[in-house]
Copies of this chain bind each other. A is one copy, B any other.
Amino acid sequence: MKLSIDHKSAVPLHIQAENLLRELIKDPEYQAGKLLPNEVDLAKILAISRTTLRQAINKLVYEELLIRRKRLGTKVAHKKMSSKSMNWLSFTQEMQARGIPVKNYELHVSWVYPDDYIANFFDIKTEKKIMKLERLRGNTDEAFVYFVSYFHPRIGLTGDEDFKRPLYELLETDHSVVANLSKEEISAKAADKLIAGKLEITPGSPVLFRKRFVFDQGDRPMEYNLGYYKAESFVYTVEARRNS
């Protein structure tokens, strides 16, 4: 890649400048904290206007790859605050997005009588069995989350589905059930014997515990999910903007 701007190219100048900057900041010198040339000079060097250059820089600033400091200059942003609002991605997709291969350590389907709490949420009777799906998942080295899901009978799951596939994709394509609303409750918990055994930690050590209530398009309950995450292995990110 050549580090100059081609004014005759069909590629917009600010795009060229952006790409050029992306290359430039890979240089160890800049990674080490060296400042970029100031905007006025750099614009002159690249033979584009400062406005156009700023357009390119802005993009990288948005991406938190560059940091501007008034009077000092612009430099490479080191450890960027990762704020990937993971929220609606499935576990599999989220892991894949981070480049971590997902492995199923356990995958177990059973049919159980719902307890009062679940029956109440689903608004069903306790006399009829519903499907329970247990999944122990992690990367290739270790399991770090234990999921327990219960599904509303309305969906019509048989238990023969391929649960290695992303769950919400399966429900949407094969059962026409679309998750529309999720309410979650996150707390810390001490692992009991069962959970400790699954995650291979000592009983009493901390886990991140997540209850998830999932509703479909008609706001009808469709899934009740419990997740036990090994501490340190999982961070839940939430982004909120004031709206008022």
Contacts and interface: CB of A to CB of B under 8 A. Distances in A.
B208 A186 contact: yes
A187 B235 contact: yes
Contacts of A69: 123
Given A180-B241, A206-B207, A238-B184, A189 B231 contact: yes
A231 B239 CA distance: 23
Contacts of A236: 185-187, 236
Interface string A59-80: 1001000010100000000111
A173 interface: no
A237 B83 CA distance: 10
Interface string A165-204: 0000000000000111111111111100000000000001
A205 interface: yes
A84 B242 CA distance: 9
Contacts of A62: 59, 62
A163 interface: no
A111 interface: no
Interface in A11-31: 22-23, 26
Q: Is the interface of A mostly helix, strand, loop or mixed?
A: mixed
A59 B59 CA distance: 10
B83 A242 contact: no
A83 B214 CA distance: 12
A188 B123 contact: no
Interface string A214-244: 0000000000000001011011111111111
Contacts of A206: 188-190, 205-207, 231
A235 B212 CA distance: 12
B240 A181 contact: yes
A113 interface: no
A85 B83 contact: yes
A84 B83 CA distance: 12
Nearest to A231: B188
A243 B22 contact: yes
A207 B208 CA distance: 9
Contacts of A26: 243
Contacts of A123: 67, 69
B208 A190 contact: no
A140 interface: no
